[in-house]
C-alpha cells in the first residue's frame, strides 16, 4: 500500500497530464474509485488499525481527500473553460464582411434644416406661424408699406396670377413677410414668431438663384425690442446652426417695410473671419435682410402708431443649407436625384 | 453705378484710399460692389439704395456722404447764380402741361462751337462708362454724373415753330429716338414737342430730330423733374431703361433744380463758348419745403438698443445737413436738407444717426420678453411626424416646384418664364411622377414622398391645401405593390394614432380636388381612404395611360383632414394574462370574392373570444381549378379572464365553418 505522501505526489503528477474530461474521470477513479481507488484503499485499511494510529492517519487521509477533490474540481473547471473557448473559435466570423442594413429613407436636407431651425427658435419661445403660398397683392405688398407703382416692387420680381375670375390680384408670395400683417391682425403684442415657407421669384435661374426657394422670416414685437436684440437673436441662431461662435454685422439697406433697414452678414464659418475663398477674403458672408418694423406696417395691422416696436428678418434657407452642406448649386434641391437626397 | 475715385477726391478733402473708402461706404451708407483700377484712377461700382438715389445718384452726392463720414469739407463747383432774363417769346415759347411735370427749366444759349470736350471731361465720362461725343452732349452727361440729375440739350435751329411744349402725346404720334428706334405713342406718354411733333420722350430718351451735331450753333437746355410713376410706367411698358429714366423713377428732388440748370449753362458757356440769352423756370408743384420732424433721443436709444449722447445725435444730423433745434431735454426738431427728400419721419432720422454712429457700436443684448409657451400648429406637427415616420421606413423625401404645366394646373400664371411652369400645381402627383422619371435610370424600386401645397381656383379666390404624396414603384407589375402601399397608409396613420380606417373602391365615384384627376387612377386598383365618413385620401395604381415606364402606386392624403381625426391620447389596453389559442383554416372562394367579405363572415360568426383573423397564405392555380382562390387564415382566440378549453375552441371554429359554408364557400381542413 502506498503512503499518503506517495498518493499525493502521484495524483498531482498525473493530474498535470490530464487533457480531457475523460482523462480526469479516469484519474478520479484511480484515486477515489470505490473498488480500486488508491485513497479508498487507505481509508479502508483504517478499520484494522489501533485507535490512535487510526485517528491520526484517518485525519491525514481525509485532509488529502479534501485537497485532491479541490484541485480536481479546479482542473475540471479549467478544462470546461478551454473547451468553450475552442467551441467559440469554431464560430469565428470575418468581421470585415459588409454590414447588412435595413433600407433607410431620408428627409430632404431643407426639411432637416427647417426642423432644426424651428426647434431652435421654439426653445427661445418663438411660435412657428404660416400663411398661404398664394396670397393677395395686399398682404404681399400694400400692407407692407410698398407703395403702388413704387420701384421696390421691382426689387423682387414677381409672378402674378391671371386675374380671370378672381376678385383681386393674387400672386405666389415673393417673401414670407406676407405673413407679418396676417399674423398681427389676429394677435396682440408682445409676441415672437418665425415663418418658414416657400417663396417664388420670377427670375432666370443659375447656381445661386431659383424660381422657388425656402425663406425664414422672423418677427418679434414688444415695447422695447431693439436692434441690439436683433443682433443677439441672430447670433444665437447662427452660432447654433453652424455649431461655432458667429458674430453678426449689420450694414445699411432699404426695405419699405422696415426703418432702419439692414443687410446682415455673419462671420465666415469656413475661415472664422480670417478671410478665405468662400467669403472672397472679406471674412464675412451675406446672409439676409432685417430691420425695425415700419410703423406703417403696424398701422396696416390695426395697431396704433408708436405703440409697439420690433424687429423683422428674412433669409433664404436654401442658401444656409448650401453653406452648411457645401452644395454648389441651389437647383440640386429640386432635382430630386436620390443619389443627392441619400447623402443627408 | 460707376463713380470715379479721382473725381470724388476733387470734391472732398483727405479722401481715404479706395479700399478704405469702399469699406467705409459699405458699412455706413451703401454697398461698394467692386473697385477697379483703370490707369491712374479707380472705378467704384456702388449699389446706391433706392431711397438714396435722389441724393446720391451723382458724384456730388457720394462726395457729400464721404464728407459726412470723414468729417472733412465738401468742395462744390463754383456756379454763377445770375440768371438774366426770361426766354423771350420771339426766341422760344414754352408751355408745360399741368400734369406729369414738377418743374421745368429751359435756357437758350447761342453761338456754341461744337467740338471735342476737354480731356478731363472725356476721361471722367469714360471712367463712368459713357462714350464722349461732343462738348455739348458731354456737358449734359457730365452734369448728370456730377449732380445725379438728368439734363438734355436740343439743337435750337431744328426746333420747329420756335416753341417747346411739355405735353401728353396724341394717339398715333411717332418719335424716332436717338438710337433710331421708332415709337408709336399713346396719350399716356409724356413728350417734349415742338410745332411739328415730339422731340423727346420725357425723362427717358431724346429724339433724333433735334439732336445736337457738329453743325449745331444754338442750343436749348432742359433741366426738369417729371412724375416718377409716369416715367416708370412708360419705361416699363416700352422696355426702355436709360441713365435718365433709372434716376427719374426714384423721384428726384427739385427744390434746387435751378442750381443744376445753371451748372449746365456754366459748363457749356465755358467749354463750347456759348452765351446764355434766356432762362425760364416753371414750377407746377407747390413748395417742396422739407417737413420738420420731432426726434426723441429716448426713442432713438430704445429702438437701436444703444446709448447715444444728445450731443452726438445733434452732431451727426448737422453733419448730414439737417437743421437741428432743441425743443427740450432729449427732444430735437429736425429739418432735413433739400437733397434728402427721404427723411420725413422719426425712424428715418434714427436710421441716419444709427448708420453714421456705426451699427458695429451696437452690442448684442438678449431681449426682455414674457416666458410664453409657443403655440404649436397641429397640422404642421402632423406633417413633420409623417415625414419622420416615412423617412425612418425607407422613403426618400423629394421637393418639387409648386409650378406645373397647363395639364396639371388650374391657377394660371400671367407671366410665366417657361412652358413647363405656366400654372400652380393642382395635385401632388405631377411632381412625384417627375421624380420617378428622374431616378429610373438608377433605381427601379423607388419609395418617395413629398409634403406640399396644391392649388385650385375656387370662388373668386385661389384655394390651397397641404397634401402628403407617396409613390412606390417596382420593376415588375404585381398586386403586391398596391398592398405594400395600403400597409404604408395604415402604418402612417397608426403612427399618428389613427386606427379603424376603411378602404373603399373608387370605382365610379368622383375623385375631388385636392386629389389627382381620375385619368391618372387605375379603375380597378384604387381606393378611397376613409375614417368616420371623412375621406382622408386616395390610394391607386397609376393608370397605364400616364405612360410611366414602370408600375407605380400613389398615396395622397389631405393632411388638414388627417389632422382632424388624429387622436392625441392612446389608451392602454391590458396585456392578456391567459394563453391564446390559434387555429388555421383554409377556404376556397371564387376569384371575384373579396377577402374583406370572408374576414367579416369569420368575425361575425367567431364569437367574443375571436381576437384576430389573419390572412397568412393565398393561392391561385391549377391544383384548385380555374376561377378559384384559396385563402388561409390564422384564427386567434383569446379570453381576458380565463384559459379557453379545447372544446370551446372547437365549437367556435365549427360556428365559423358553418357560416362560411352558408355563404357558399368551401372550407378545407
| Continuous segment of H or E residues that includes residue A114 | helix A109-123
To the nearest whole Å, the CA of A286 is away from the closest chain B CA by 12
DSSP code per residue over A223-244: SS--HHHHHHHHHHHHHHHTTS
Quick one: pLDDT at residue B222? 97
* b/e code B164-201 from CB counts within 10 Å (16+ = b): bbbbbbeeebebebeeeeebebeeebbbbbbeebbbbb
Quick one: pLDDT at residue A147? 84
A149-159 pLDDT, tens digit each: 765 565 458 89
Residues of chain B found within 8 Å of residue A194, distances taken between Cβ atoms: none
**ipTM for the assembly:** 0.89
Residue B614 in grid coordinates: 389573419
pLDDT band at B512 (very low <50, low <70, confident <90, very high): very high
Q: Is B668's pLDDT higher than 90?
A: no
Q: Is B569's pLDDT higher than 70?
A: no
Q: Which residues pair with B530 in a beta bridge?
A: B502, B535
Quick one: pLDDT at residue B551? 95
First-residue to last-residue Cα distance in chain A: 84
DSSP code per residue over B273-317: --EEEEEEEEE-S---PPPEEEEEHHHHHHHHTS---HHHHHHHH
Instruction: For residues B16-21, give the mean pLDDT.
Output: 97
Residue A137 in grid coordinates: 397683392
Contact A294, A256 (CB under 8 A): yes
pLDDT band at B405 (very low <50, low <70, confident <90, very high): very high
B410-439 pLDDT, tens digit each: 999 988 878 899 999 999 999 999 999 999
A244-262 pLDDT, tens digit each: 999 999 999 999 999 999 9
- A98 close to B (CB below 8 A): no
pLDDT band at A304 (very low <50, low <70, confident <90, very high): very high
Residue pairs spanning A and B at CB distance below 8 A: 230
Question: DSSP code of B12?
Answer: B
Instruction: For residues B634-647, give the mean pLDDT.
Output: 93
**pLDDT, mean over chain B:** 94
Residues 6 or more apart from B317 whose CB is under 8 A from it? Answer: B295, B324, B332, B334, B349, B352, B353
Chain-centroid distance, C-alpha B618 = 55
Instruction: For residues B542-550, give the mean pLDDT.
Output: 92
Q: In B129-256, which residue ranges form alpha helices assigned H by DSSP? A: 135-147, 228-238, 243-248
Residues of chain A found within 8 Å of residue B362, distances taken between Cβ atoms: 227-228, 231, 250
- A188 close to B (CB below 8 A): no
Residues of chain B found within 8 Å of residue A163, distances taken between Cβ atoms: 414
Are B396 and A105 a contacting pair at CB < 8 A?
yes
A175-194 pLDDT, tens digit each: 999 999 999 999 999 999 99
Instruction: For residues B522-543, give the mean pLDDT.
Output: 95
Residues of chain B found within 8 Å of residue A188, distances taken between Cβ atoms: none
Number of Cα atoms under 13 Å in the Cβ half of residue A225:
23
Q: How far apart are CA B161 and CA B169, in angstroms?
A: 18
* Three-class SS of A174-199: CCCCHHHHHHHHHCCCCEEEEEEEEE
Are A249 and B370 a contacting pair at CB < 8 A?
no
Quick one: pLDDT at residue A56? 87
Identify which of B31, B306, B375 has the shortest CB distance to residue A228: B306
Q: Is A274's pLDDT higher than 60?
A: yes
pLDDT band at B453 (very low <50, low <70, confident <90, very high): very high
Q: How far apart are CA B150 and CA B97, in angstroms?
A: 20
| Binding-face residues of A in 2-21 toward B, CB within 8 A | none
Cα nearest neighbour of B28 on chain A = A252
The residue among A222, A336, A343 with the most chain B CBs within 10 A of its CB, best to mutate, is A336
Q: Is B251's pLDDT higher than 80?
A: yes
- A122 close to B (CB below 8 A): yes
Q: Is A165's pLDDT higher than 80?
A: no
Location of C-alpha cell 414685437: A221
A312-342 pLDDT, tens digit each: 999 999 999 999 999 999 999 999 999 999 9
Helices A227-241 and B297-304 sit at what angle, rounded to 10 degrees? 0
Are B302 and A333 a contacting pair at CB < 8 A?
no
pLDDT band at A79 (very low <50, low <70, confident <90, very high): very high
Identify which of A170, A225, A339 has the shortest CB distance to residue B442: A339
Residue B575 in grid coordinates: 396585456
Residues of chain B found within 8 Å of residue A107, distances taken between Cβ atoms: 387-388, 391, 397
B479-504 pLDDT, tens digit each: 999 999 999 999 999 999 898 899 99
SS3 B201: strand
- Tell the burial category of B461 from Cβ atoms under 10 Å away from its Cβ (0-12, 13-18, 19+): middle
pLDDT band at A71 (very low <50, low <70, confident <90, very high): very high
Helices A51-90 and A4-17 sit at what angle, rounded to 10 degrees? 0
Are B374 and A127 a contacting pair at CB < 8 A?
yes
Quick one: pLDDT at residue A186? 95
Quick one: pLDDT at residue B568? 64
- Cβ neighbour number for residue A51 with a 10 Å cutoff: 8
B297-335 pLDDT, tens digit each: 999 999 999 999 999 999 999 999 999 999 999 999 999
Are B464 and A133 a contacting pair at CB < 8 A?
yes
Amino acid at each position: 500500500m502506498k503512503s499518503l505522501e506517495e498518493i499525493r505526489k502521484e495524483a498531482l503528477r498525473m493530474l498535470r497530464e490530464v487533457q480531457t474530461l475523460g482523462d480526469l474521470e479516469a484519474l478520479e477513479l484511480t484515486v477515489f474509485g470505490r473498488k480500486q481507488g488508491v485513497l479508498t484503499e487507505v481509508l479502508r485499511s483504517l478499520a484494522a488499525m489501533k485507535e490512535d494510529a487510526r485517528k491520526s492517519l484517518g485525519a491525514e487521509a481525509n485532509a488529502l481527500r479534501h485537497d485532491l477533490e479541490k484541485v480536481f474540481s479546479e482542473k475540471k473547471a479549467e478544462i470546461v473553460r478551454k473547451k468553450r473557448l475552442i467551441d467559440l473559435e469554431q464560430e469565428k466570423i470575418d468581421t470585415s464582411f459588409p454590414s447588412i442594413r435595413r433600407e433607410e429613407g431620408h428627409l430632404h436636407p431643407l426639411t432637416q434644416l427647417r426642423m432644426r431651425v424651428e426647434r431652435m427658435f421654439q426653445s427661445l419661445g418663438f411660435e412657428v406661424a404660416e400663411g398661404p403660398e398664394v396670397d393677395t397683392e395686399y398682404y404681399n405688398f400694400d400692407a407692407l408699406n410698398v407703395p403702388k407703382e413704387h420701384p421696390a416692387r421691382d426689387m423682387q420680381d414677381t409672378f402674378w396670377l391671371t386675374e380671370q375670375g378672381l376678385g383681386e390680384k393674387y400672386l405666389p408670395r415673393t417673401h414670407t413677410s406676407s405673413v407679418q400683417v396676417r399674423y398681427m391682425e389676429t394677435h396682440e403684442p408682445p409676441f415672437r414668431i418665425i415663418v418658414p415657407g416657400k417663396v417664388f421669384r420670377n427670375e432666370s435661374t443659375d447656381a445661386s438663384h431659383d424660381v422657388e426657394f425656402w425663406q425664414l422670416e422672423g418677427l418679434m414685437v414688444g415695447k422695447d425690442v431693439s436692434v441690439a436684440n436683433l443682433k443677439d437673436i441672430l447670433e444665437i441662431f447662427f452660432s447654433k446652426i453652424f455649431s461655432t461662435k458667429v458674430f453678426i454685422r449689420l450694414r445699411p439697406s432699404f426695405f419699405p417695410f422696415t426703418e432702419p433697414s439692414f443687410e446682415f452678414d455673419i462671420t465666415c464659418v469656413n475661415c472664422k473671419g480670417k478671410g478665405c475663398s468662400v467669403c472672397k477674403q472679406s471674412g464675412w458672408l451675406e446672409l439676409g435682410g432685417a430691420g425695425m418694423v415700419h410703423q406703417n406696417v403696424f398701422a396696416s395691422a390695426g395697431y396704433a402708431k408708436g405703440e409697439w416696436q420690433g424687429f423683422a428678418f428674412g433669409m433664404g434657407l436654401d442658401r444656409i443649407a448650401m453653406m452648411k452642406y457645401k452644395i454648389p448649386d441651389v437647383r440640386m434641391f429640386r432635382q430630386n436625384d436620390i443619389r443627392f437626397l441619400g447623402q443627408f | 453705378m460707376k463713380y470715379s475715385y479721382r473725381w470724388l477726391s476733387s470734391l472732398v478733402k483727405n479722401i481715404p484710399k479706395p479700399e478704405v473708402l469702399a469699406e467705409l461706404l459699405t458699412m455706413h451708407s451703401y454697398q461698394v460692389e467692386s473697385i477697379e483700377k483703370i490707369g491712374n484712377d479707380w472705378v467704384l461700382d456702388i449699389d446706391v439704395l433706392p431711397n438714396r438715389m435722389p441724393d446720391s445718384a451723382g458724384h456730388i452726392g457720394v462726395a457729400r456722404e464721404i464728407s459726412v463720414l470723414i468729417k472733412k469739407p465738401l468742395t462744390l463747383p463754383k456756379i454763377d447764380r445770375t440768371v438774366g432774363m426770361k426766354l423771350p417769346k420771339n426766341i422760344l415759347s414754352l408751355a408745360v402741361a399741368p400734369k406729369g411735370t414738377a418743374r421745368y427749366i429751359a435756357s437758350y444759349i447761342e453761338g456754341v462751337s461744337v467740338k471735342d470736350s476737354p480731356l478731363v471731361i472725356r476721361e471722367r465720362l469714360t471712367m463712368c462708362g459713357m462714350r464722349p461725343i461732343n462738348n455739348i452732349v458731354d456737358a449734359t452727361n457730365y452734369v448728370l454724373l456730377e449732380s445725379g440729375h438728368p439734363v438734355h440739350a436740343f439743337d435750337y435751329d431744328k426746333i420747329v415753330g420756335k416753341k417747346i411744349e411739355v405735353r401728353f402725346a396724341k394717339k398715333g404720334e411717332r418719335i424716332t429716338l436717338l438710337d433710331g428706334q421708332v415709337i408709336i405713342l399713346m396719350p399716356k406718354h409724356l413728350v417734349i414737342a415742338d410745332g411739328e411733333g415730339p422731340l423727346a420722350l420725357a425723362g427717358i430718351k431724346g429724339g433724333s430730330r433735334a439732336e445736337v451735331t457738329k453743325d449745331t450753333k444754338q442750343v436749348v437746355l432742359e433741366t426738369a423733374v417729371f412724375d416718377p410713376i409716369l416715367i416708370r410706367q412708360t419705361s416699363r411698358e416700352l422696355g426702355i431703361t436709360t441713365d435718365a429714366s433709372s434716376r427719374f423713377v426714384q423721384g428726384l428732388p427739385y427744390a434746387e433744380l435751378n442750381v443744376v440748370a445753371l451748372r449746365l449753362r456754366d459748363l457749356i458757356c465755358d467749354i463750347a463758348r456759348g452765351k446764355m440769352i434766356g432762362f425760364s423756370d416753371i414750377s407746377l408743384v407747390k413748395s417742396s419745403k422739407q417737413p420738420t420732424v420731432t426726434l426723441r433721443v429716448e426713442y432713438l436709444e430704445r429702438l437701436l438698443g444703444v446709448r447715444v449722447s444728445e450731443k452726438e445725435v445733434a452732431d451727426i444730423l448737422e453733419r448730414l445737413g439737417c437743421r437741428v433745434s432743441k425743443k427740450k431735454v432729449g427732444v430735437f426738431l429736425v429739418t432735413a436738407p433739400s437733397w434728402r427728400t427721404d427723411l420725413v419721419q422719426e425712424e428715418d432720422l434714427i436710421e441716419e444717426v444709427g448708420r453714421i454712429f456705426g451699427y458695429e457700436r451696437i452690442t448684442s443684448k438678449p431681449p426682455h420678453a414674457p416666458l410664453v409657451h409657443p403655440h404649436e400648429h397641429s397640422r404642421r406637427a402632423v406633417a413633420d411626424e409623417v415625414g419622420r415616420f416615412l423617412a425612418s421606413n425607407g422613403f426618400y423625401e423629394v421637393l418639387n416646384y409648386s409650378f406645373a404645366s397647363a395639364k396639371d394646373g388650374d391657377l394660371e400664371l400671367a407671366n410665366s418664364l417657361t412652358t413647363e411652369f405656366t400654372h400652380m400645381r393642382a395635385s401632388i402627383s405631377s411632381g412625384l411622377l417627375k421624380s420617378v422619371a428622374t431616378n429610373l435610370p438608377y433605381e427601379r424600386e423607388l419609395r418617395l414622398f413629398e409634403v406640399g401645397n396644391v392649388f385650385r381656383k375656387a370662388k373668386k379666390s385661389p384655394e390651397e391645401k397641404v397634401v402628403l404624396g407617396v409613390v412606390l414603384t417596382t420593376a415588375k407589375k404585381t398586386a403586391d405593390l398596391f398592398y405594400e402601399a395600403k400597409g404604408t397608409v395604415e402604418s402612417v396613420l397608426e403612427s399618428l394614432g389613427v386606427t379603424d380606417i376603411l378602404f373603399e373602391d373608387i370605382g365610379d365615384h368622383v375623385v375631388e380636388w385636392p386629389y389627382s384627376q381620375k385619368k391618372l387612377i387605375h379603375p380597378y386598383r384604387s381606393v378611397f381612404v376613409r375614417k368616420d365618413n371623412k375621406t382622408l385620401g386616395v390610394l391607386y395604381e397609376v393608370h397605364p395611360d400616364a405612360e410611366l415606364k414602370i408600375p407605380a402606386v400613389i398615396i395622397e392624403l389631405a393632411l388638414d383632414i388627417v389632422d382632424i381625426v388624429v387622436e392625441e391620447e392612446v389608451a392602454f389596453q391590458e396585456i392578456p394574462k391567459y394563453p391564446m389559442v390559434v387555429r388555421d383554416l383554409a377556404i376556397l372562394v371564387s376569384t371575384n370574392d373579396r377577402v374583406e367579405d370572408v374576414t367579416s363572415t369569420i368575425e361575425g360568426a367567431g364569437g367574443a373570444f375571436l381576437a384576430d383573423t389573419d390572412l397568412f397564405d393565398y393561392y391561385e392555380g391549377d391544383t384548385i381549378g380555374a376561377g378559384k382562390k384559396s385563402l388561409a387564415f390564422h384564427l386567434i382566440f383569446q379570453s381576458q379572464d380565463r384559459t379557453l378549453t379545447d372544446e370551446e375552441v372547437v365549437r367556435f371554429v365549427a360556428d365559423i365553418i358553418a357560416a362560411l359554408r352558408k355563404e357558399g364557400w368551401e372550407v378545407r381542413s
